[in-house]
Amino acid sequence: MSAAGAGSAAAAAAARAAARFAGLSSSSSSSSSRGLLAVRAFNSSSSSCLFPRRLLQPAQQQQQQQLQRGFSSSAAAAAESLAAVIQKEIAHEKAQYEPEKKIKEFLETKKWQLQEKENDVLVTLTREVDGLKVTVEFSCIQPAAAAEEEAALPESSDFTVSVHRSDGSGLLFYCSTTAEDETARFCIGQVRHFVDSSSKESLASYPGPYFEDLDEAFQQQLDSWLAAVGVDGQLCDFLEAFAADKENRE
């Protein structure tokens, strides 16, 4: 047998073996070495993968189309049912919602203006004190800490405080709340001076010295100054309460 004939025989044998594995029959003609596969027994899902659509029998095509339509209608019905349940739950939560008392009291007594957007985790508080504009910005979702850090440290919320004059210059404090049983309700990481709004927002600006590296007398003066403009333990209580409240609402 020539090499070409041996190759054709091997190809035909491979085709027959594949046909037997897939549950099909194979036939070959003397005029061609290509095995022609004919349908013996297959289900609608596997046939659409193995064969061109033109080889499917009309009855099997109809069965496949019916299955597809049935699946689509079932999926649509399930999605519609799920959406109805979700909307009902949202309506129930809105009807039952009542803001925490200390949140309302804080905003009313401390004269802070709250700015928030639905489905936005960033929240801003502003107030005017003796010609200074005080802005507190915080996120209701804090970055997740590593497991070891989370076990060792109490939960805290990061926030920034900027106090600036009408000319745009001011101070920016990077702060974090501390546990309620701590002497100070918040700690300051860094503090920096900015000359205008662009330098305040610039990522290239020097973030300022670490607060703990400053002279202790100067630290105390800055603490007292912040308390005078409304940055104190009550503000920290509000930040944590509001973050939990917003999470429940949304």
Are 180 and 195 in contact by the 8 Å Cβ rule? The answer is no
pLDDT band at 2 (very low <50, low <70, confident <90, very high): low
Amino acid at 220: Q
- pLDDT score for 55: 52
Q: What is the pLDDT of residues 73-107, one digit of tens each?
A: 677 777 788 888 888 877 776 666 666 778 888 99
pTM (whole model) above 0.85? no
Instruction: Kindly state whether residue 59 falls inside one of the protein's structural domains.
Output: no
DSSP string, the chain: --HHHHHHHHHHHHHHHHHHHHT-EEE--TT--SPEEE--S--HHHHHHHS-GGGS-HHHHHHHHHHHHHHHHHHHHHHHHHHHHHHHHHHHHHHH----HHHHHHHHHHTPEEE--TT--EEEEEEEETTEEEEEEEESSPPPPPHHHHHHS----EEEEEEE-TTS-EEEEEEEE--TTSSSSEEEEEEEEESSHHHHH-TTS----BGGGS-HHHHHHHHHHHHHTT-SHHHHHHHHHHHHHHHHH-
* Least confident window among 52-61, 106-115, 136-145, 168-177: 52-61
Instruction: Kindly state whether residue 227 falls inside one of the protein's structural domains.
Output: yes
CATH number assigned to the domain comprising residue 196: 3.10.280.10
Instruction: Kindly state whether residue 192 falls inside one of the protein's structural domains.
Output: yes
- Number of structural domains in the chain: 1
Instruction: Kindly state whether residue 2 falls inside one of the protein's structural domains.
Output: no
- Read off the tokens for 142: 């804090």
Instruction: Kindly state whether residue 90 falls inside one of the protein's structural domains.
Output: no
Question: Where in the sequence is the domain holding 131, given as residue range(s)?
Answer: 101-249
- pLDDT score for 69: 67
Instruction: Kindly state whether residue 13 falls inside one of the protein's structural domains.
Output: no
Instruction: Kindly state whether residue 146 falls inside one of the protein's structural domains.
Output: yes
Instruction: Kindly state whether residue 123 falls inside one of the protein's structural domains.
Output: yes
